[in-house]
Structure 1
Amino acid sequence: MADGHQWKIVKIPPIVQELAGEVHEPPSQYVVREQDRPSVAAVSGMPEPVPIVDLSRLSASDDEDRAGELARLRSAVEDWGLFLAVGHGIDPSFLGEVINVTRGFYELPLEEKQKYSNLVNGKEFRIEGYGDDMVVSEEQILDWCDRFYLIVEPESRIAHSLWPTQPPSFRHLSNLVQVSCCLNFSCFFLVRDVVREHTVRCREIAGLVLAKMAGLLGLQEGYFAGMLDENAMTYARFNYYPRCPRPEQVLGLKPHSDASVITVASMDDSVSGLQVLRQGVWYDVPIVPNALLINVGDGIEIMSNGAFKSPVHRVVTNAERDRVSLAMFYTLDPEKELEPAPELVDDERRPRRYAKTKTKDYVTGLFETFARGTRVIDTVRISE
């Protein structure tokens, strides 16, 4: 998520999707330490359910309905750092298209996907593109996941050469696709530009949630949302988690928190895998059909001076089913400073808990710490 930044890597990991079809045991570089394995870490039987918030009620005309839903939002972002959003206004059929486009990309032949590789000259890693996360040491434990990152906002930052032309609904500038039909003539069909449309809709959702979160802190509702200005960066990460022969030994995505301000994720309704850490216990995030996952990012934890928490989460693998998801990460203008809101800092009652940092430096730090299994937010946290 660091625009234009490139890293030297110690080795090029295999494409996991290809590896999964060839091995009966995961290679040793994917096997996590015994104490970190999903079979050892206690996964909760849901004594408390992951919160669900109805976004349509956050702005309801009925005062009681609105107040009740705002209370649920407060509890979610203070106690969990994430929630499942319903009432978001996106048609279920369109959410299905989003997942189908993601899956459709990963169903392309390997040589087609590699046209959009995240490797420059075969040896330098960049954030945008298709492949795996960077490898910075021989001892690094790798994730059982392939990913495809794209900058989707602002328009001036989009690298059009990295946007696939297949499947057609992933990106089609004219929206007209010519295909061969019967009787030896061509037909034209209107194709939705799914990724662009999804980007617009998710920004509206992120704006609504950010406005209500600011209000909960006594700030003007436009405080957080207004920071996502015309230079703010939005990244899309298309994730693919292949079937794994030993899911009890391997993680699809290692524990981490998001360097975003806020994250809006669309998840596969057919198979679960996301888990969130709360009070030392891993909770399965359940499948709620047509719900979106809203995740507080490190940016909001910092700007709220710790009032809202950016949750640690991970993805587990599955022996029977593969899984896809699409996460939209909203970050500030790379040149903006990230720091607690002045209104939320008081030397006596609410001391500053995070140091000031430039957004582009923070986001660059995410990938360097993630590869090592640490959290970038710890680098700016001020000890009490």
Structure 2
Amino acid sequence: MVSNGDPAVEKSEFIQEIVRRNPSCIPERYLRREEDKAKDVDMSALADDIPVLDLTLLSNGNKEELQKLDNACKDWGFFQVTNHGIAAEALQGTKKATGDFFNLPIQEKTKYSFHPEFKQGYGQPFPVAENEILDWSDSLLLLLYPSQNRCPELWPARPPEFRGFVEAYSAGIRKVTEELFGCLSLIMGLEKDTLLGLHEEMMTAMRMNYYPLCCRPDQVMDLTPHTDVGTITVLTQDDDVTGLQIRHNGGWVPVEPLPNSLVVNVGDILEIWSNGKYKSIEHRAVTSEARERISVALFFYPNTEVEIEPLEDILAAQEWRRMYKKVKYGDYLKQATQRRMQGKTHILKFKI
């Protein structure tokens, strides 16, 4: 069944409630266009080629591992990280707390509904045009750092362990990110503390995603193809459900989960700073007919006052021209959040 004709269902923002009411219902606003489905090219055979890096080796300056990081950022824009130092209990506990929140009654969850002024909360985080197709997913977006960006009343009180896991998990991911910034600086030919220095007041947002099952997974998209508008993103996903896919060589490659690993991807700002050496890559999430899925992403951004442009040391080492205009990050972020992220539409506006 495509739609049951119920206006309440058609207008609902919460996919989980649609599925609970009628698992065979897919409202029209969520149906993919045939021309979009025709563009899908399955490149599952390349899944094993997505780089897997050892953070302990990277942090110790292992040259071979640093070269793998450089290749991963150039060729894929994505990689998985092992030996990152975050306990399995923290990863699993955070995912369980996320699932427990989404399994609360809708009346409880809507106490934390998305607040357009604070730009965080439960629900659709970006404005959506009337003719746009909606994603088959629900989310909870929280701003974590700087601490003055937090909105405590939008942090769920249930499950009771939720806030503790968020604090511990985000602190651990922040340390991983600082290590990665040091490694990225080195492979870019910069001083080790360069990228971290460009994040003196590092902004961090956490987005918890719930992807319900769907009776016709080919008809919907959990998350529209897009790039991330920060520097890097660090994600943990369910260990036994594959949903994340990345664009590579014109097709879509699934990122098959490695238990207790982290998925890291290059964001638009790292692409600009590197003058296009490293690429922010389109990625999407696809739906399962058999299993719901959880993921938790942390996005890392420079301060809104930081001027973003190709770094001079990078330009001096490259043989090609400057590829991006200068822009204040706050302006970049503002124009990016005025509409839903799709493809590479935001960064293309700043290409020369």
TM above 0.5, yes or no, is yes
CA contact (8 A) 1:259 1:298 kept: yes
Whole-angstrom distance in 1 between the partners of 2:347 and 2:12? 27
Aligned to 2:63: 67
Whole-angstrom distance in 1 between the partners of 2:318 and 2:239? 47
1:172-208 per-position Cα deviation (integer Å, ceiling 9, x unaligned): xxxxxxxxxxxxxxxxxxxxx1111111111111111
Q: 2:171 aligns with which of 185, 193, 200?
A: 200
User: Which structure would you say has the larger Rg?
Assistant: 1
Normalized per residue, the structure richer in helix is: 2
Question: For residue 146 of structure 1, what is the amino acid of its counterpart?
Answer: D
1:300-337 per-position Cα deviation (integer Å, ceiling 9, x unaligned): 00111111111110000111111111100000111221
Question: For residue 71 of structure 2, what is the amino acid of its counterpart?
Answer: S
Q: 1:95 aligns with which of 91, 94, 98?
A: 91
Over 3 Å counting, the alpha-carbon distance change for 1:110 and 1:147 in structure 2 is: same
Question: For residue 226 of structure 2, what is the amino acid of its counterpart?
Answer: H
3-state SS in 2 of match to 1:53? strand
Q: Shift of residue 119 of structure 1?
A: 4.4
Over 3 Å counting, the alpha-carbon distance change for 1:251 and 1:76 in structure 2 is: same
3-state SS in 2 of match to 1:152? strand
Whole-angstrom distance in 1 between the partners of 2:342 and 2:57? 41
Whole-angstrom distance in 1 between the partners of 2:197 and 2:11? 40
User: Number of residues paired by the alignment?
Assistant: 341
Does 1:25 pair with 2:25?
Answer: yes
Whole-angstrom distance in 2 between the partners of 1:80 and 1:376? 20
CA contact (8 A) 2:247 2:282 kept: yes
Whole-angstrom distance in 2 between the partners of 1:101 and 1:254? 25
Aligned to 1:343: 313
Aligned to 1:150: 142
Q: Shift of residue 22 of structure 1?
A: 2.5
3-state SS in 2 of match to 1:376? helix
Whole-angstrom distance in 2 between the partners of 1:371 and 1:89? 32
Aligned to 2:188: 217
Aligned to 2:13: 14
Aligned to 1:187: none
Q: 2:205 aligns with which of 229, 235, 239?
A: 235
1:16-40 per-position Cα deviation (integer Å, ceiling 9, x unaligned): 1101223313111111122322x86
Whole-angstrom distance in 2 between the partners of 1:339 and 1:327? 25
Question: For residue 282 of structure 2, what is the amino acid of its counterpart?
Answer: V
Aligned to 2:3: none
3-state SS in 2 of match to 1:234? strand
Q: Shift of residue 87 of structure 1?
A: 0.8
Aligned to 1:365: 335
Aligned to 1:226: 197
Aligned to 2:4: none
Alignment of 1:172-321 (within 5 A): 193-229=164-200, 231-321=201-291
1:3-54 per-position Cα deviation (integer Å, ceiling 9, x unaligned): xxxxxxxx965211101223313111111122322x8612113235211001
Whole-angstrom distance in 2 between the partners of 1:162 and 1:34? 38
3-state SS in 2 of match to 1:295? strand
Question: For residue 128 of structure 2, what is the amino acid of its counterpart?
Answer: V
Whole-angstrom distance in 1 between the partners of 2:346 and 2:73? 20
Over 3 Å counting, the alpha-carbon distance change for 1:352 and 1:373 in structure 2 is: closer
CA contact (8 A) 1:266 1:326 kept: yes
3-state SS in 2 of match to 1:368? coil
Question: For residue 115 of structure 1, what is the amino acid of its counterpart?
Answer: K
Question: For residue 116 of structure 1, what is the amino acid of its counterpart?
Answer: Y
3-state SS in 1 of match to 2:162? coil
Q: TM-score, normalised to structure 1's length?
A: 0.84
Over 3 Å counting, the alpha-carbon distance change for 1:266 and 1:159 in structure 2 is: same
Aligned to 1:185: none
Q: Where in structure 1 are there 5+ consecutive unaligned residues?
A: 1-10, 172-192
Question: For residue 343 of structure 1, what is the amino acid of its counterpart?
Answer: D
Question: For residue 248 of structure 1, what is the amino acid of its counterpart?
Answer: D
RMSD between superposed Cα atoms in Å: 2.0
Q: Shift of residue 357 of structure 1?
A: 1.2
Q: Shift of residue 167 of structure 1?
A: 0.9
Identity across the alignment (%): 35
Q: 2:133 aligns with which of 131, 135, 141?
A: 141
1:103-141 per-position Cα deviation (integer Å, ceiling 9, x unaligned): 111011111111111145xxxx76301012434321111
Q: Shift of residue 269 of structure 1?
A: 0.9
Runs of 4+ with >4 A deviation: 371-374
Q: Where in structure 2 are there 5+ consecutive unaligned residues?
A: 1-9
Over 3 Å counting, the alpha-carbon distance change for 1:115 and 1:70 in structure 2 is: same
Over 3 Å counting, the alpha-carbon distance change for 1:115 and 1:46 in structure 2 is: same
Q: Shift of residue 363 of structure 1?
A: 1.6
CA contact (8 A) 1:136 1:371 kept: no
Q: 1:162 aligns with which of 148, 154, 165?
A: 154
Aligned to 1:56: 56
Over 3 Å counting, the alpha-carbon distance change for 1:371 and 1:138 in structure 2 is: farther
3-state SS in 1 of match to 2:32? coil
Whole-angstrom distance in 2 between the partners of 1:348 and 1:210? 20
Normalized per residue, the structure richer in strand is: 1
Q: TM-score, normalised to structure 2's length?
A: 0.92
3-state SS in 2 of match to 1:46? helix
Question: For residue 86 of structure 2, what is the amino acid of its counterpart?
Answer: I
